Structure 1
Amino acid sequence: MTDSPLPIRDGLPQDFAPALDLLHAAFHNNPDPDLTEIERGVYEPARSLAVVDDGRIVGHAGAYTRELTVPGAVVPAAHVTMVAVAATHRRRGLLTRLMRRQLRQVRDQGREPIAVLWASEGRIYPRFGYGLAAERLIFDIDLRELRLPADAGDARLRSGDPDELRPEMATVYERLRPGRPGWSSRDDRWWRNVLADPPARRESQTALRAVLHDGPGGVDGYALWRSRGGWDTRGPKAHVQVIEVAATEPPAYLALWRFLTTIDLSRSVGYSFGAVDEPLIQLVDEPRQLGATLADSLWVRLVDVAAALEARRYAAAVDLVIDVTDPLVPENTGRWRLTGDRERARCVPSTEPSDLACDVRDLGAVYLGGSSLRSLADAGLIRELRHGAVAEATIAFGWDRSPAGVEIF
């Protein structure tokens, strides 16, 4: 005789500390009082789920209420986070039940057509319908054999305390965000979270630093960074760790990267959130010295297929009937006729013959315009039922800028 399943209940404000302890144990981190207070500032108990055994939280899943930029639009998206199961309760189906319950809640609330997350392991979330929608380049830059072009004009840079410069950085971020697939909205709570600088976040590096670029019309770019000193028998070898670079104009982008790659006594630069089409690759004289490696970033789940496909825009005119399979959200299963272009889109149920067939996971993978639909078709994941449909859909679902996740949430 087996034990009955442990119940899942909605989150409570007092769940935050024990849920965070569960996360620390699962991710092999030590608790830190400063980080606890930072994370408490964005925690949403009403969007959390908990599994409790004998008074202790042994499973948890949460979400943040934020927007996500997608091709041609900004949409509400459940930012899934704080997902963990205690090591003592593995292999009991708790994660599956948590994810199913969360998807059902997001769907029933009807406000967010998609969910998005960063995955601790790539094998976990495809079974819940999440597709790899954005990749990133991690740069490990060797500065000794790398040069950037000279600035087009006089670079007007000024540094300061990140908190004091926050309003100007937020202005730049908001100017860019509507056109940057993969970027999430940031209200005051989230800016406080991004700029919070406790010792636990520094990892033996300096305090967080900020630099602004002043263009002809005002501030048009910023960078956040830290550094770590170092010396060997050949001299200085400090390391600069770039946290974020945002610029609305090419001269500002170039000036900021020239600054970051020419800081006195530094010999290397790291950056973990480069876009696949990062302009830096085109600017440097020796791209190999960027030491770029490819990694996954955002995973997207279409919670409401019709609403999600209507919410984004398409690089070329599209008129397709897609046969979708979704084992976890039955309302998504069926044939959907998608029509749209760069200005508008419509997705409705259809009884017409299907042009393509796929799992909802594959629609999540192509949703941000980063993954090639042709690639998924060549892998046998998307089936072409009408000759030419894959070519049409590949162009339509693409976009002119690669998606990029610029922060882990």
Structure 2
Amino acid sequence: MSDYVLRTATEQDRDGLVRVRREAFGITGSPNPDDTVRTVLEPPRNHLVEHDGEVVGVVGAFTRDMAVPGAVIPVAHVTGVVVSPVHTRKGLLRRMITQQLHDSPEAVAALWASEGRIYQRFGYGLAAQNMTIRADRRDLSVRMPPAPGRLRSAVPSDVIKELSEVYSRVLPTRPGWSSRSDTWWRHLTSDPEHRREGGTAARAVLFENPEGVVEGYARFRIKPGWDDNGPKQEVNVIEVAATTTAAYAELYRFLLRIDLARTMVQGCSSVDEPLFHMVDEPRQLGGKVGDGLWVRIIDLPRALTARKYAAPVDVVLEVTDALLEANAGRWRLRVGAGGALVTCTPADGEADLTLDIADLAAAYLGGTRLGALHLAGRIKEHRPSAVAATSTAFGWPVTPNSIEIF
């Protein structure tokens, strides 16, 4: 392995990072120098492997915050994990991920997995599932009565201020949502034609209450289509964010009533999406569940004390971690009444539960129940009711999800 050099990327590697990602994910055509993905890349947060002077592997991250139960904390947004096909099966990925974890200043990392089996080897747990909606909008309507206010159409890049204000108010209440700087907003609302996949330019619709305050927005595009029976356009929903139930309902009422459309598709919805409880025929939403965020705990005591808990608990966890030895061992997690006085300290006493760091990570956002992991044989219970009490504490009223793939 001496001919493979592991190092941290620099600004001079920016073009190489773009090239390797494009090759690995099958992106055709020449790179667009104006593509805003270049503006959010952070070369110093990329670990790469060189062979004969050529970049053959990359593991990157974005510096962003993420909402977790009861808090918004720094989370390493791992991205662009690539090993050139002719250099696989040489341990390069393990070297890069291990180095990334050791160098990361955050206590928690998260990613979207192209293949879940890859990241489970490195201590990642499935922490949030996502729902894909493919609704027959002709057979659906929102049951709530119309709310006072109005809808306003806009170009997303022209109303970043309004979008970001709504999003920032919603973010702390939605575990799994990621913070967005001005640079990220400009990137996410950039709309070059090569990203449209046959759809129209992206559009935005804003809901304003009677006082003129924007309470929610939807970003979407239309994919044209016709058959022998007439129009069959598809409404592709990019995201919906709303600070009130009324705004949420009015935005979906609009999306489900767009003329000439037969289908509404939304790829990043929650498995507990309120829309399922608002429409008259939820079966027609055509929900399909898939994996969403995978989480890795990097600094166990710092991660466990950063979030809030749904119930008091006093439990000793015996944790295994094959990559980060500092996480391994016995830890006493104590949460007081009302979620106050959260402490996590090394413990000498008998363990109540034995689990791997990946299982703890899966439960971290409050979406995967420790009780379910216990039934799956992944957690050992040494004290009666320890699983029930700990699973309840780790739960959260809002099911986590991510509304963007990073």
1:293 Cα deviation from its structure 2 partner: 0.5
Q: Report what 1:389 is aligned to.
A: 386
1:125 lines up with 2:119 in the alignment: yes
Correspondence list, 1:79-98, <5 A: 79-98=77-96
Report Cα offsets for 1:131-178 as digits up to 9, x if no partner. 000001001111122221254323410011111111011000000111
Where in structure 1 are there 5+ consecutive unaligned residues?
none
Q: Report what 1:180 is aligned to.
A: 174
Aligned pair in 2 of structure 1 residues 323, 259: CA closer, same or farther (>3 Å)?
same
Q: Report what 2:57 is aligned to.
A: 59
Contact 1:207 1:226 in 2 (8 A): yes
Contact 1:151 1:254 in 2 (8 A): no
Structure 1 segments of 4+ aligned residues over 6 angstroms from their partners: none
Correspondence list, 1:222-233, <5 A: 222-233=217-228
1:299 lines up with 2:294 in the alignment: yes
Contact 1:151 1:251 in 2 (8 A): no
Correspondence list, 1:10-409, <5 A: 10-34=8-32, 37-106=35-104, 111-217=105-211, 218-340=213-335, 341-409=338-406
Aligned residue identity for 2:2: S
Q: Secondary structure at the match of 2:36?
A: helix
Q: Secondary structure at the match of 2:35?
A: helix
Contact 2:48 2:59 in 1 (8 A): yes
**Residues of 1 paired with 2:125 and 2:217: CA distance?**
31
1:36 Cα deviation from its structure 2 partner: 6.3
Identity among equivalent pairs (%): 48
Contact 2:271 2:399 in 1 (8 A): yes
1:330 Cα deviation from its structure 2 partner: 0.2
Report Cα offsets for 1:362-409 as digits up to 9, x if no partner. 010000000011000011111111110000011100000000111111
Q: For the aligned residues, what is the CA RMSD?
A: 1.3
With 4-13 and 219-228 compared, the bigger mean Cα shift is at: 4-13
Aligned pair in 2 of structure 1 residues 160, 15: CA closer, same or farther (>3 Å)?
same
Aligned pair in 2 of structure 1 residues 143, 334: CA closer, same or farther (>3 Å)?
same
Aligned residue identity for 1:338: L
After TM superposition, the score normalised by the length of structure 1 is 0.96
After TM superposition, the score normalised by the length of structure 2 is 0.97
**Residues of 1 paired with 2:117 and 2:34: CA distance?**
28
1:215 Cα deviation from its structure 2 partner: 1.5
Contact 1:50 1:57 in 2 (8 A): yes
**Residues of 2 paired with 1:140 and 1:35: CA distance?**
34
1:211 Cα deviation from its structure 2 partner: 0.7
Aligned pair in 2 of structure 1 residues 385, 271: CA closer, same or farther (>3 Å)?
same
Contact 2:217 2:240 in 1 (8 A): yes
Q: Secondary structure at the match of 1:157?
A: strand
Aligned pair in 2 of structure 1 residues 35, 254: CA closer, same or farther (>3 Å)?
farther
Aligned residue identity for 1:227: I
Contact 2:148 2:209 in 1 (8 A): no
Q: How many residues align?
A: 403
Where in structure 2 are there 5+ consecutive unaligned residues?
none
1:46 Cα deviation from its structure 2 partner: 1.1
**Residues of 2 paired with 1:343 and 1:212: CA distance?**
38
Report Cα offsets for 1:62-118 as digits up to 9, x if no partner. 111110110011111111111100011011111111111111111xxxx31101101
**Residues of 2 paired with 1:344 and 1:158: CA distance?**
45
Q: Secondary structure at the match of 2:20?
A: helix
Report Cα offsets for 1:266-315 as digits up to 9, x if no partner. 11010001101100101111111111100111111000000000001100
